[in-house]
Chains A and B, each alone.
Chain A
Amino acid sequence: MENIFGIPMTSIMNVLLVIFGLCLLVGAWILLRNRVIFRMGVRNIPRRPAQTVLIIVGLMLSTLIVAAALTTGDTLNHSIRADVYNYLGHTDQIIVHSSEEAVEATDMEQAVPEGGGTVPTSLLEELRAETADVGAIDGFMGVVAEQVPAVVGDGTFAEPVTAMTGLEAEAIEAFGGLRDLEGNTIDLDSLSDGEVVLSETLSESLNLEAGDAFTVFVQNAPHEMTVFAVGEDSYLTGVQTPGMPGGFAIPLSYAQELTGLDSDELNMIAVTNSGDEVSGADRTDEAMAAIEPLLAGTQFNINAVKQSLLEEAELAGNAFSSIFVVLGMFSIAAGILLIFLIFVLLAAERKPEMGMARAVGLKRRQLTQMYIAEGLTYDLAAAAVGAALGVGVAWVIADVIARLIGDFIQIEPSVTWQSLVIAYTLGVVITFITIVISSWRVSRLNIVSAIRDTQEEPKERESRKFLIFGIIGLVLGALMLWGGAESGSMALYTMGISLIPLCLAVIFRRFGFSSRLVYSLAAGLVLLYWVLPWEWVAYIEPEGMSGDFEMFFISGIFMVTSATVLIVWNATVLTSVVSFLGQTFSRWLPAVKTAVAYPLASRGRTGMTIAMFSLIIFSLVAMATINSNFEQLFSGEDASAGWDIQLEQGAVNPIDDLEAALVEGGVDTGQIDAAARMSTVGFGAARLRTSPDEEWGSYTVRGVDETFISESRMPLQIYAEGYESEADVWQAVAEDPTLAVIDAFAVPIEGGIQIGGPGFQLEGVDLGADYLDPITVEASSLLNGTSGEVTIIGIVDQSVSMIWGLYMSEQGFDELFAQPTGYTYLVRAESGVDHTEFAEEMQAALIQYGVQADSMQDLLDEQLAINRGFIYLVQGFMSLGLVVGIAALGVVSFRSVVERRQQIGMLRAIGYSRAMVSASFIIESAMITLLGVLSGGALALWLAYQLITSEEFADFGQIEFTIPWGLILFFGVLAIVASLIMAWIPARQASRVSIADALRYE
């Protein structure tokens, strides 16, 4: 990949390498300046192997997440590229008829335009002559391509859409040549009329071998074909992407004859650059530069198909990396907390020796350096492990993606050095910064006493430092607030608002107010700010704030932090719950008692652990809930606008009268309740723009018939003033050829991540307004270069998710475009008819028209299955963060066993059984996890509820808020079970403590 978040990867890498170098320099400086300190730090590492392992697990996580995210992007990029090379082969550019400037190809199908204007062979000759001495260009080939239905015998095997490709035999060698399955070259010249070279996939789906016959229909006339040979799948044999049915190659002249073209007419000219499939693409700019001047002023355009498809691959890889990085941020945040926690615990453990070291004259600064040396060593090792494991995780992700969309893209795992370097250095840097801050804190501030079980009051000097922190934080918060209000950045503004009360609390505490009071109050305020209905808090926000996807992260962080602070300062309430439970389970009461008392006494580590679980569960539950509500929105009964079956058809074999054609094919049309027709100029062939200054964007344009208007169930989100009802709007579209309605997906979603290519976007629509300001757009067809203006007076509701496009009347469509790329028939069946079977029956009956029929419900289900698969994948990735929480519980529990050894001995002596001691540990872990899970889950549900029921969302479509309880329960149980397993080992250790030994001092 070359970019992420719009920043070049190489720049990111260089910056990171510099910072990474600085980190190493710090380490080297400590080593040189103070060899003893460095060694003291590093020597700590092998002291406790189990602990070291946990620390490495904790420290590697951010690297792992970033490595997995980037590698997933690499994999997608690489796989799509590989497909591009595989299927486009040597073809680098194509020249087609078009009156407009060159358009970017957006998908593979578009590489072969349907039914467009023609290109004369004279142009081919001219190009050959003019570019003979251009080194970048290897050759040109005239092509006639058409999508046609193919039927074997009486229809036992049939494919409604196959690619018939007429190729210039003399030119074919420069394009890699046609080869059979053994790799022998096939001479296209030796084919007589009616003989074809069949692609391997089509030979399989039609069950044909060399010598077998089948029928194709071109312009409603049947033609008998014989398989001359079966060839490799490639662009030349009509296979442009995996999953396509493929096609067949025939000599150019025969193709011209079949499609009714003159012998000097072509559909397009393919251009191949010097070099092979891969290196040819690198010379695209050179080749374009040579050819473009020759086409200037003509109706012909050169289109860098391969280059734009490769760019698409890059974009897709990017989108995936970005999504995974953003969603991984919760885990990274939890990971940072874990690093901090680890250092606090290390410091607690080493308190006596630290004291001793200080006593013999070690400065605090040197203590800090010691921790940094140790931390850096862990860091360098952990990031390496993290990068390696991240690649492993990406491999698993690749496998899942392959299962989901393997039919469309052949997924091959791939990783680049650049991604690894970025992940490694970023991981090292993030961790290093955390280490420096925590080292500084543990050796400089006496927070040790705060997290120790014996609570000493912070000394005057430290409390002064808190004051300074408080003031710095306050100033920072105020600056953020101001900056956010000025720039309209929701993120800055809300961070400022949330920081201020928390810093005030720190300051007030300094002046003798009760900690519990000020912290609870501050956290309560922050939490309130985030959980109050958005409309209520809107009045303290300046106008025109906007936030993106990062708001999800920021709201999560502040909701979780404030809730956690509230919990740890007020959990004494739990004690009463516990005594109540104690009446019922009196046997375990003592175990429960200690289990509750300990975590309440060390608020720091308890809070951090709760926060980690809370963060991860928050992200998982919010994601799952929001998604399930969106799914509900898109898959509701309006999804297919009330239609049951969709019949799609190219323009080659038009149907005059659907009902007659069906009757002729033996279909009982009594099963049909209604049938509508849409003439379509497909995505890539039709383009829209709102003004001549804007870039064109591809879009699907539909001319819809009367039945469509009267029978579709197409609710509108918003429509222009002056129409009485939605029906009124549709009626106006039917009657006035200059009016149109567009689907909701044209309106960009605020805060969404844009994945697609250069599709048209309808900017400036306020869905919350009462009426739509009619928007006039210019529409143009690449087929024949026609263009004209239409006015959009309505936007379809998002609940219609299966049909999309710019809808206008058939008359308007004809006036504008004259020529469609295809037709879509929409059929509503009588009740009781099986849609899947009926679709199959109609497809079989209409096979010679090249009709592809599908049940809308089946299509929707397929789509949902893929979507759901992706969501599960992303959730699986996010739940990696649970490892952080579990590791935190692990380090805390192991530490507790050590810290409480004597106390355990004492408890055992006064009558705690072994089981009770381990139960106490396990209950403690379970309680912490449960608190995290409950707070994270509840906050996430609330956030999702607010989002789904918010005004902005309601503009998209009305739905009942639903909660995916099953999934949420699964996450909760997963977290709790995993933490119980983690707690089990230290709990066992604790129960085995020898009483007499424990009671002696260390």
Chain B
Amino acid sequence: MSQKTASKDEVIVDLDAQDAIIEASGVVKTYESGRIRVEALKSVDLTVNRGEMVAIMGPSGCGKTTLLNCLSGLDEIDSGSILIAGTDLAKLSDNKRTAFRAQDMGFIFQFYNLLPVLNAVENTELPLLVSGVGTREARERALAILDMVGLNDWSTHRPAELSGGQRQRVTIARALVNDPAIVWADEPTGDLDSSTADEVMALMRDLNQRNRQTFVVVTHDPRIGDMCDRIIQMHDGEIVSDGR
């Protein structure tokens, strides 16, 4: 990971220090909207090691997305604790947390991933730009990663001009462009046909193995689960099984 400290202003969380990169214990998340109360996470404990590729699976509504959002610090939790490389993200200021996401995390969301008004390469380079990488370097790195996901001919196309699979590959490129320590992926292959899904998945697996990046992947697809190091099964806000 040392190759990218050059572009960082400061080290917010020392990712190299520990082997357990994600440590969650007793995480509770409740949604209250009006009279309805949904216990989306009921005391979840989870540890993920650096370089692991973890699949989170479970029926719709069981709390997968919620867990991902909480772990990555996008959402707040009601009780319990979450440490990323030993640091409690909840205790960081919003700006520090944001900078951390920009520099060390990559995201692939279930919906709404790309800005429709920017083209593929502009979308891809955004995480670099927000973490202060110069425009020229950012563009070069974005093009390189687009090339890697096989989109070098499509870099100036807008999302609306790309197919679902191409869009998803741009999203992956963006998630990886800043060389993140952790990649959070929520149904990265949800909209894709099975062969494209396989391609995308193989790509992620390849990157994970090459760069020792940690992947947390939410999926419905058992074949994707099979490609991961570890499968966590959720049901109704709880982890019901964990392992291969």
Contact = CB atoms under 8 A, between A and B. Distances in A.
Interface string B114-149: 011110001000110111101100000000000000
Given A598-B117, A906-B109, A999-B112, A913 B126 contact: no
A705 interface: no
B95 interface: yes
A914 B107 CA distance: 18
Contacts of B64: none
Contacts of A916: 130
Nearest to A917: B98
A908 B117 contact: no
Nearest to B139: A579
Interface in A539-590: 579, 582-583, 586-587, 589-590
Interface string A913-952: 1111000000000000000000000000000000000000
B169 interface: no
A1001 B111 contact: yes
A912 B111 CA distance: 18
B105 to A, nearest CB: 8
A910 interface: yes
A913 B116 CA distance: 20
B227 to A, nearest CB: 25
A598 B65 CA distance: 28
B130 A903 contact: no
Contacts of B174: 910
Contacts of A579: 135
A966 interface: no
A136 to B, nearest CB: 78
A547 to B, nearest CB: 43
A913 B126 CA distance: 12
A595 B76 CA distance: 29
B172 to A, nearest CB: 13
Contacts of B74: 909, 995-996, 999
Contacts of B99: 911, 913
A911 B130 contact: yes
Contacts of A994: 75
B117 A911 contact: no
A910 B117 contact: no
Contact of A454 (B69, B101, B127, B160): B160
A918 to B, nearest CB: 13
B95 A913 contact: yes
Contacts of A902: 111-112
B135 A582 contact: yes
A596 to B, nearest CB: 9
A446 to B, nearest CB: 16
A910 B127 contact: yes
Interface in A126-159: none
Contact of A453 (B103, B107, B117): B117
A1002 to B, nearest CB: 10
A913 B109 contact: no
A606 to B, nearest CB: 11
B49 interface: no
Given A593-B122, A594-B117, A905-B112, A996 B75 contact: yes
B226 interface: no
B135 A590 contact: no
B30 interface: no
Contacts of A453: 116-117
A524 B42 CA distance: 64
User: DSSP majority for the A interface?
Assistant: helix
B103 A911 contact: yes
A910 B118 CA distance: 15
B221 to A, nearest CB: 20
Contacts of B129: 586, 589-590, 593
Interface residues on A, range: 35 or more
B24 to A, nearest CB: 16
A906 B69 contact: no
A916 to B, nearest CB: 7
A597 B126 contact: no
Contacts of B160: 454-455
Contacts of A910: 101-102, 107, 126-127, 130, 174
A600 interface: yes
A914 B94 contact: yes
A910 B97 CA distance: 11
Contact of B117 (A597, A913, A915): A597
Nearest to B104: A911
A996 B71 CA distance: 12
Interface in B3-52: none
B96 to A, nearest CB: 10
Contacts of B110: 999
A586 B126 contact: no
B113 interface: yes
A906 to B, nearest CB: 5
B112 A903 contact: yes
Contacts of A601: 116-117
B16 to A, nearest CB: 21
Contacts of A1000: 65, 111
Interface in A581-634: 582-583, 586-587, 589-590, 593-594, 597-598, 600-601
Of the candidates B95, B110, B116, the one having the most CB atoms from chain A within 10 angstroms of its own CB is B116
A603 B184 CA distance: 35
A902 B74 CA distance: 13
Contact of A911 (B75, B109, B122, B131): B131
A586 B137 CA distance: 12
Contacts of B103: 911
A905 B110 CA distance: 13
Interface string B162-205: 00000000000010000000000000000000000000000000
Of the candidates B98, B101, B102, B127, the one having the most CB atoms from chain A within 10 angstroms of its own CB is B98
Contacts of B94: 913-914
A907 B107 CA distance: 10
Contacts of A593: 118, 122, 126, 129
A583 B135 contact: yes
A594 B122 CA distance: 10
B201 to A, nearest CB: 21
A913 B129 CA distance: 12
B115 A590 contact: no
B64 to A, nearest CB: 13
Contacts of A594: 115, 117-118
B178 to A, nearest CB: 8
Contacts of B109: 906, 909, 999
B117 A600 contact: yes
Contacts of A589: 129, 135
Contacts of B115: 594, 597, 903, 906-907
A905 B69 CA distance: 12
A936 B188 CA distance: 48
B126 A995 contact: no
A586 B112 contact: no
Interface in A975-1001: 994-996, 999-1001
Interface in A397-419: none
Nearest to A591: B130
A909 B101 contact: yes
A586 B127 contact: no
Contacts of B117: 453, 594, 597-598, 600-601
B83 to A, nearest CB: 19
Interface in A520-541: none
B237 to A, nearest CB: 16
A914 B99 CA distance: 11
Interface in A880-922: 902-903, 905-916
14 contacts: A454-B160, A579-B135, A590-B130, A601-B117, A902-B111, A902-B112, A909-B72, A911-B102, A911-B126, A914-B94, A914-B98, A916-B130, A999-B110, A1000-B65
Given A597-B117, A910-B174, 7 more contacts: A583-B135, A586-B135, A601-B116, A902-B111, A910-B127, A911-B131, A996-B66
A-B pairs, 8 with minimum CB distance: A911-B102, A996-B75, A902-B112, A601-B117, A911-B130, A597-B117, A996-B69, A590-B129
